[in-house]
């Protein structure tokens, strides 16, 4: 028995594994998608989305891909997992993802194959789109020049390929490796951490998707979650997931501020001061098993 059964959840509400069912359509995510979609539909060529670690860039990239139906778009999502990438690898991967059969090993012939495929897509009345996640890994001038060359594939008054970069803020410096490419950015949007209000909506939304009828988080616990996570969705998930599990181990029904503090300490997050009254301590002691009392007071030492 895990904490999902303990709290009568249909599934884990705070897993960091990608799951479209848990997509939280915040105002900024909605605005980002609107701008990126407009960039593609108006053939702007290059758009960029940046955000800090855990702010939801990959989730947004997948959402963007889902919003590009095959009937209107030939689209692909490539994730850069390391920096040891060559222009030839990028070109061959894009060719295959966009439907080029048997890409040639010669870069020039491969480029010709891609151009011909893009013309086919254009004649079909569709748009070619390539989404690049973790684009900050493209750390050489040669790679930036390669993408600039791809953006030159066009017909009169229209670009044949749209590219969207998703990456960490350092992507700005990477793109400066090729100034002409940086100047071609038609749209740029920056994802920021969730506000306290958005963070609360985010937590409640994920609980609702998991089949939760009443939130197990106390008001004080929710405030601490925002303080410890700084509104970063991935950290919110990690804290909430650990806190629910800890509450389950203590046979509790409510995630308290004490538990959030203990979880945050275990995770190595910055300490946020919390003053508990003797009544609150006594309440926690009564709610937990006898062998948990030492854990509670250990968590209060030095606070």
In a domain, 22, yes or no: no
The residue among 167, 191, 215 that closes a domain is: 191
Q: Are 246 and 134 part of one and the same domain?
A: no
Confidence check: pLDDT of 288 > 60: no
Average pLDDT rounded to a whole number, residues 108-129: 96
Number of domains in the chain: 2
The residue among 124, 158, 191 that closes a domain is: 191
Q: Are 60 and 136 part of one and the same domain?
A: yes
Q: What is the pLDDT of residue 19?
A: 85
In a domain, 261, yes or no: yes
* Pairing of β 158-159 and β 154-155: antiparallel
Q: Are 278 and 294 part of one and the same domain?
A: yes
Q: What is the pLDDT of residue 270?
A: 63
The tens digit of pLDDT for each residue in 13-43 reads 999 988 888 999 999 999 999 999 999 999 9
Shortest CA distance to 233 belongs to which of 63, 66, 48, 29?
Answer: 29
Average pLDDT rounded to a whole number, residues 160-170: 96
Average pLDDT rounded to a whole number, residues 189-203: 96
The tens digit of pLDDT for each residue in 49-87 reads 999 999 999 999 999 999 999 999 999 999 998 888 899
- Residue 215, domain extent: 195-300
Q: What is the pLDDT of residue 11?
A: 94
Please report, for the domain that includes residue 146, its CATH number. Answer: 3.40.50.300
In a domain, 62, yes or no: yes
In a domain, 12, yes or no: no
Q: What is the pLDDT of residue 2?
A: 81
Q: Are 224 and 148 part of one and the same domain?
A: no
Q: Are 172 and 39 part of one and the same domain?
A: yes
Q: Is 128 exposed, middle or buried (0-12, 13-18, 19+ CB in 10 A)?
A: buried
Average pLDDT rounded to a whole number, residues 260-283: 64
Q: Are 235 and 142 part of one and the same domain?
A: no
Q: Are 199 and 279 part of one and the same domain?
A: yes
In a domain, 270, yes or no: yes
Instruction: Supply the Cα-derived Rg of the chain in whole angstroms.
Output: 24
Q: What is the pLDDT of residue 90?
A: 93
Is residue 91 very low, low, confident or very high in pLDDT (cuts 50, 70, 90)? very high
In a domain, 5, yes or no: no
Query: CA–CA separation, 125 vs 146, rounded Å?
Result: 26
Q: What is the pLDDT of residue 278?
A: 33
In a domain, 8, yes or no: no
> What is the 3 state secondary structure string of 159-187?
ECEEEEEEECCCHHHHHCCCHHHHCCEEE
Query: CA–CA separation, 18 vs 20, rounded Å?
Result: 7
Q: What is the pLDDT of residue 157?
A: 85
Among residues of the chain, what percentage have pLDDT more than 70? 88
Instruction: Name the E strands within the chain.
Output: 46-51, 73-79, 127-133, 154-155, 158-159, 161-167, 185-191
In a domain, 81, yes or no: yes
Q: What is the pLDDT of residue 17?
A: 87
Q: What is the pLDDT of residue 83?
A: 83
Q: Are 177 and 161 part of one and the same domain?
A: yes
The residue among 124, 159, 191 that closes a domain is: 191
Is residue 283 very low, low, confident or very high in pLDDT (cuts 50, 70, 90)? very low
Query: CA–CA separation, 199 vs 184, rounded Å?
Result: 34
Q: Are 187 and 199 part of one and the same domain?
A: no
Q: What is the pLDDT of residue 1?
A: 61
Q: Are 107 and 220 part of one and the same domain?
A: no
CA distances from 17 to 62, 168, 195, 234, 267 (A): 12, 19, 22, 10, 19
Q: Are 62 and 168 part of one and the same domain?
A: yes
Q: Which of the two residues, 151 and 287, has the higher pLDDT score? A: 151
Q: Are 233 and 262 part of one and the same domain?
A: yes
């Amino acid at each position: 028995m895990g904490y999902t059964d303990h709290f009568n959840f249909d599934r884990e509400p705070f897993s960091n594994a990608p799951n479209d069912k848990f997509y939280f359509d915040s105002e900024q995510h909605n605005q980002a998608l609107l701008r990126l979609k407009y960039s593609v539909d108006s053939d702007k060529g290059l758009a960029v989305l940046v955000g800090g670690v855990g702010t939801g860039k990959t989730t947004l990239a997948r959402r963007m891909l889902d919003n590009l139906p095959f009937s209107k778009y030939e689209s692909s999502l490539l994730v850069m997992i390391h920096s040891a990438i060559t222009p030839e690898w990028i070109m061959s991967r894009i060719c295959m993802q966009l439907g080029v059969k048997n890409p040639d090993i010669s870069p020039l012939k491969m480029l010709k194959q891609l151009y011909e495929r893009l013309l086919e897509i254009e004649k079909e009345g569709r748009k070619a789109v390539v989404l690049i996640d973790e684009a900050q890994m493209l750390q050489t001038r040669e790679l930036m020049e390669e993408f600039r060359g791809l953006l030159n594939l066009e017909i009169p008054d229209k670009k044949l390929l749209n590219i969207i970069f998703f990456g960490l803020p350092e992507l700005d410096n990477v793109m400066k490796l090729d100034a002409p490419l940086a100047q071609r950015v038609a749209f740029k949007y920056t994802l920021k951490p969730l506000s306290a209000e958005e963070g609360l909506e985010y937590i409640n939304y994920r609980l609702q998707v998991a089949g939760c009828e009443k939130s197990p988080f106390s008001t004080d616990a929710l405030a601490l979650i925002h303080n410890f996570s700084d509104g970063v969705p991935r950290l919110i998930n990690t804290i909430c997931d650990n806190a629910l599990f800890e509450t389950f181990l203590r046979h509790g029904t409510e995630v308290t501020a004490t538990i959030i503090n203990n979880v945050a300490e275990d995770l190595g997050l910055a300490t946020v001061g919390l003053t508990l009254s003797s009544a609150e301590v006594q309440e926690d002691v009564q709610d937990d098993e006898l062998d948990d009392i030492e854990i509670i007071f250990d968590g209060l030492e030095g606070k």
